[in-house]
Amino acid sequence: MKAILLAGGSGTRLAPMTAVVTKQLLPIYDKPMIYYPLSTLLLAGLREILIISTPHDLPMIEKLLGSGADLGVSFSYAAQPKPEGIAQSLIIAEKFLNGQPCCLILGDNIFYGPHNGIEQAASLTKGSFVFAYRVKDPERYGVVTLDAAGNATSIEEKPAQPKSPYAVTGLYFYDSEAPAIARSLKPSPRGELEITDVNRAYMQRGELKVGILGRGTAWLDTGTPDALLDAAQFVQTIERRQGMKIACIEEIAFRKGFITAAQLEKLAERYGKNDYGAYLRSVLEE
Ligand code: TTP
């Protein structure tokens, strides 16, 4: 399965922090935001990743992440000229996907906790799979209801009266039909190709499965100043307590066997004596 990391958008809620740089390059505690969704993909074993951002931000993201070769993975890059919706990423990615199923993750979503469900979803070949998470303010998200077998029974974008507390998270798995479905959509009143409409199309075919991320999992989005700070403090709390890093992409690449110890050592050298470099060396010594 191939993966798409969508890291554009306008970031209006975070302005002026996003006046000259995409939110995905803002820090969440000790690393750029984009490392977090990227780590989710790597932990799921996905190694062929298309990164989509604005024409302005794409060169900076490419400078940060490069070809992926030093992590034993492959990054490709594509621009989304205007933020015309999350579902548009499936159209932009169509050539890259080349008829394969895909995983789409949003650049401002942080997942922390057991990853087994996500790894399993990455073997999907037919239909679609999304993750739902219980939140206090479902009206801000796509909201889904499901039956006992995990089939979606309704899905609505930002409903005034949510039918359930379950928000659809920014991690989606689709079969090879997704780009064609996205192409068949009309823009919503807010002028976007809505990912909820892609999901609804699958639901209408009886092909939208929903997995609940349990209360032992943290799903954070980072679109507002408060959410950004909450996420940073969450990461700081766990990292300080455990002495282990969340979303350290070099460590993940090593533990997954994408790179050798010698390659990790070389990556550590980049950071000299700073804490990040020391951490990478501690992984090697373990
Ligand atoms: P949003 O948070 O919905 O939008 P935004 O990032 O533009 O922020 P704001 O609402 O404050 O203006 O986007 C969710 C994620 O999807 C985020 O990582 C950006 C990304 N995105 C795109 O890359 N292109 C798009 O067209 C849209 C709508 C979102």
Query: Can you give the pLDDT at residue 88?
Result: 98
pLDDT(115) > 90:
no
Report whether residue 179 contacts ligand 1, using a CB cutoff of 6 Å.
Answer: no
Residue range 258-276: average pLDDT?
Answer: 96
Task: Out of 4, 10, 169, give the residue to mutate to test ligand 1, the one with the largest number of ligand atoms within 8 Å of its CB.
Answer: 10
pLDDT of residue 57: 98
Ligand 1 pocket, mutate which of 5, 6, 84, 141 (most atoms under 8 A from CB): 6
- Compute φ and ψ for 129, nearest 5 degrees: -145, 130
d(CA 139, CA 123): 31
Is residue 114 scored above 90 in pLDDT?
no
3-state secondary structure 80-102: CCCCCCCCHHHHHCHHHHCCCCE
d(CA 134, CA 217): 10
* Mutation choice for ligand 1 from 106, 169, 221, CB with most ligand atoms inside 8 A: 106
> Ligand 1 within 6 A of 223 CB?
yes
Phi, psi torsion values for 58, nearest 5 degrees: -55, -45
Q: Is the pLDDT of residue 187 over 90?
A: yes
Q: Tens digits of per-residue pLDDT, 219-239?
A: 998 999 999 999 999 999 999
Mean pLDDT of 3-27: 98
Q: What is the mean pLDDT of residues 210-217?
A: 94
pTM above 0.75, yes or no: yes
> Does the beta carbon of 222 lie inside 6 Å of ligand 1?
no
Query: How close is the Cα of 203 to the center of ligand 1, in Å?
Result: 23
Superfamily of domain 2-247: Spore Coat Polysaccharide Biosynthesis Protein SpsA; Chain A (3.90.550.10)
Instruction: State the distance from the centre of ligand 1 to the C-alpha of 83, rounded, in angstroms.
Output: 7
Q: Give the separation between CA 53 and CA 50, rounded to whole angstroms.
A: 10
Average pLDDT over residues 171-200: 97
Name which of 9-18, 115-124, 153-162, 178-187 the model is least confident about.
115-124
Q: Residue 165's pLDDT is what?
A: 97
Q: Is the pLDDT of residue 116 over 90?
A: no
Model confidence pLDDT, tens digit, residues 43-89: 999 999 999 999 999 999 999 999 999 999 999 999 999 999 999 99
Contact assessment for residue 170 and residue 223, using Cβ atoms and an 8 Å cutoff: no
Give the start-to-end residue ranges of the domains of the chain.
2-247, 253-286
